[in-house]
Amino acid sequence: MIHVPNAAPAAQETLRSRFRREGRSAAHLRHPNVVTVFDYGTDDDFGLDYLVMELLEGEDVAERVHREGALPVSLELRILGEAAGGNTAGQG
């Protein structure tokens, strides 16, 4: 369950509704630069909201920069281009 301490029940339901709407939208996206969402919903036995997502292995950009220092501009541009492609996929 999505829970915000001290939030009114109506606010909690608004958050849960948004979670389900975004889960539904994410589950329809198919793009190499967007993590795949296989399932989403609420487990009624536990009252928990969930997303079942593709497992990605590797390191994120922040970890790589921390390990190597500044990245070459050509690599930074490639990363930004791929991120923009994934973002565009979600706009259609």
Each residue's pLDDT tens digit, 7-49: 788 888 888 899 999 999 999 999 999 999 999 988 888 878 8
- pLDDT tops 60 at residue 1: no
* H or E, element range at 75: helix 73-89
Name the average pLDDT for the chain.
89
- pLDDT tops 60 at residue 65: yes
> Contact at 8 Å (CB) between 64 and 76?
no
> Contact at 8 Å (CB) between 41 and 20?
yes
- pLDDT tops 60 at residue 90: yes
> Contact at 8 Å (CB) between 7 and 63?
no
Q: How confident is the model at residue 77 (pLDDT cuts 50, 70, 90)?
A: very high
* Residue 53 Cα to chain centre, angstroms: 9
What whole-number distance in Å separates Cα of residue 86 and Cα of residue 32?
A: 7
Structure tokens at 54: 């593709």
- pLDDT tops 80 at residue 4: no
Total-model pTM: 0.73
What whole-number distance in Å separates Cα of residue 12 and Cα of residue 6?
A: 10
- pLDDT tops 90 at residue 5: no
What whole-number distance in Å separates Cα of residue 2 and Cα of residue 73?
A: 39
